[in-house]
Structure 1
């Protein structure tokens, strides 16, 4: 799937449509007259839908009021993105592609037009996450509450908050469309970017500038960081409506927590073969596997007997044709997992068991 780094519900219309349906059902009862009790019951049913719509709208407004102060706009050089206030010490978590190569940033909070200065703590491009820190913490800065993303369910209503196209404090609405997605970002020069596993797919609109913001449930808790929007090659690589991806909050907490405590990521949780590889093609110029260019001494591949010059064609039961497909297969695994690697060496196909290392 092609991705780039980066529909509001019309409640009155929905309510009206549902009321109409209720009226039609009631009109098909076949009874020429109704008792006062039946009439009262029908009237109660007709008023229940608008009341439910009003309750949902109230929920939206409360979540926005509670969470939006924790979402900031980040200016990194000439680029704009979003971030989430992580704690009351001024740490802000965002995407690594938002901070880029910059070391200092201008941060604008939702309740102020005054730009604050922040500096980079650490960027971890492998998971597309980074933490920056405000030089001076303004009074009333509100950290966001993070949910357990393992409990996120398909169909759950979510709101995306951030600064799409520079429009600060913007909110879009959708649902969780899928969980457990593995997505590879577009990189520079045609090479792939980070491959991120276990992502949340959402129909909430994610546009450039939303990256690093908040995907929030109706309890006002962050379930993920909006990071990617799918693009449609048939539409000139423009954004595919309703297909966006967010890094799950549990991973955000793991990575950001390590950065805040240690100044870097010490335990990535990302499986690796500990090799340097490149995609190779067959005699028809079709991707045919990953050639091992270098093996890290003492790493997972080294211990399994894999050598430079071998061509990896399968990891477990997954066929490997490109470096991206290998990275995506590894994203579904954990360090310490036991699996098999099938490879070719001097024209012969061989297979070995390997205990995966850490990236």
Structure 2
């Protein structure tokens, strides 16, 4: 699969498209409720039970899914708390700082302002300027408990069709994927994503991937493309940022106005790709080193060309990002590099991307 991003469709933010790598916040006062998963019993009326479970989940969660509109585009978002904070994708907000938000429950669009965006994880938080009474925050579940085969629903505003719902299963967990940096994409490499067969279309970005316990387990973000099908999306392959990542990033943005600890490893350098004499990718050159950062403490300098991190060969900037996405801050790893044509290795304790 190759990573490209489809052009923006009229009235809709296209989901960022990607290449596969080789490889809650509960609302206060939430009332206990029976598990909809448990309600889907094997019986003669099992089909009706499943249908009822779907309908109950849609009725419970859809009021928490909103439509976000900028001057050019639209996408989706999820009500995070009763103060009017809404979490969405960074590529949905783009460069905008003010928005119109339409609730699934109807009424006139509401104004909102950007709190902060964190493109490295393709997440952002906006805040309603005048939150209405009865605003319903979503219940964010534990994405660590998500299992392959689990039934999920994707809720959002695909192609501008407000409050739409699609269904599927969790196809895989722990995927590392990379967005295109074109047509509004962030170019981020995101680890631990949830793969789903539920349809993810332009405008679904920033919405909700929901289990039948009425919990948001992810934010739909990416749809895969296959070169054999030209620029079209590969059917039934979509990805959502897990709720654990969403909560980590959103909580920090709401509290601090920025992300201070992403949980993502970093070398604390600015880099660019380099090629060999045959114009083939040959590593990543360090342009600058953050003073006191991980690379600086490990002895790396501007001009060094990184060729390996741990066991992962580094040929491009994307491969470096992918290698770091698989690691955690505080991990000590060998970093192979060349300086003036001489091969060297440094032991580097990774920092935190923030």
Shorter-chain TM-score range: 0.7 to 0.9
Contact preservation (8 Å) 2:91, 2:184: no
- Further displaced range: 142-151 or 176-185: 176-185
What is the CA deviation profile of residues 219-244 of structure 1, one whole-angstrom value per residue up to 9, with x for unaligned ones?
00000000011112222211111111
Partner in structure 2 of residue 240 of structure 1: 234
Describe the SS at the equivalent of 2:190. Answer: strand
Structure 1 residue 345 displacement after superposition:
1.8
Q: Does 1:82 align with 2:83?
A: no
What are the residue-to-residue correspondences of 1:196-275 with 2, within 5 Å? Answer: 196-275=190-269
Partner in structure 1 of residue 337 of structure 2: 343
Contact preservation (8 Å) 1:160, 1:171: yes
Contact preservation (8 Å) 2:102, 2:110: yes
1:257/1:127 Cα in 2 relative to 1: closer, same or farther (>3 Å)?
A: same
- Further displaced range: 247-256 or 109-118: 109-118
Q: TM-score, normalised by structure 2?
A: 0.87
Structure 1 residue 189 displacement after superposition:
7.6
- Further displaced range: 133-142 or 246-255: 133-142
Q: Which of 182, 187, 196 is equivalent to 1:193?
A: 187
1:137/1:106 Cα in 2 relative to 1: closer, same or farther (>3 Å)?
A: same
CA distance in 2, matches of 1:264, 1:191: 20
What are the residue-to-residue correspondences of 1:80-229 with 2, within 5 Å? Answer: 80-188=74-182, 193-229=187-223
Structure 1 unaligned regions, length at least 5: 7-47
Partner in structure 2 of residue 308 of structure 1: 302
Q: Which of 300, 309, 322 is equivalent to 1:328?
A: 322
1:60/1:154 Cα in 2 relative to 1: closer, same or farther (>3 Å)?
A: same
Contact preservation (8 Å) 1:273, 1:356: yes
Partner in structure 1 of residue 39 of structure 2: none
Describe the SS at the equivalent of 1:53. Answer: helix
- Further displaced range: 83-92 or 179-188: 179-188
CA distance in 2, matches of 1:183, 1:113: 37
What is the CA deviation profile of residues 14-35 of structure 1, one whole-angstrom value per residue up to 9, with x for unaligned ones?
xxxxxxxxxxxxxxxxxxxxxx
CA distance in 2, matches of 1:66, 1:192: 32
The structure that has the greater radius of gyration is 1
Aligned length: 318
Structure 1 residue 285 displacement after superposition:
1.5
Structure 2 unaligned regions, length at least 5: 6-13, 16-41
1:254/1:190 Cα in 2 relative to 1: closer, same or farther (>3 Å)?
A: closer
Describe the SS at the equivalent of 1:245. Answer: strand
- Further displaced range: 264-273 or 240-249: 264-273
CA distance in 2, matches of 1:49, 1:270: 46
- Further displaced range: 85-94 or 231-240: 231-240
Contact preservation (8 Å) 1:278, 1:290: yes
CA distance in 1, matches of 2:242, 2:335: 29
Question: Greater helix percent: which structure?
Answer: 1
Contact preservation (8 Å) 1:310, 1:343: yes
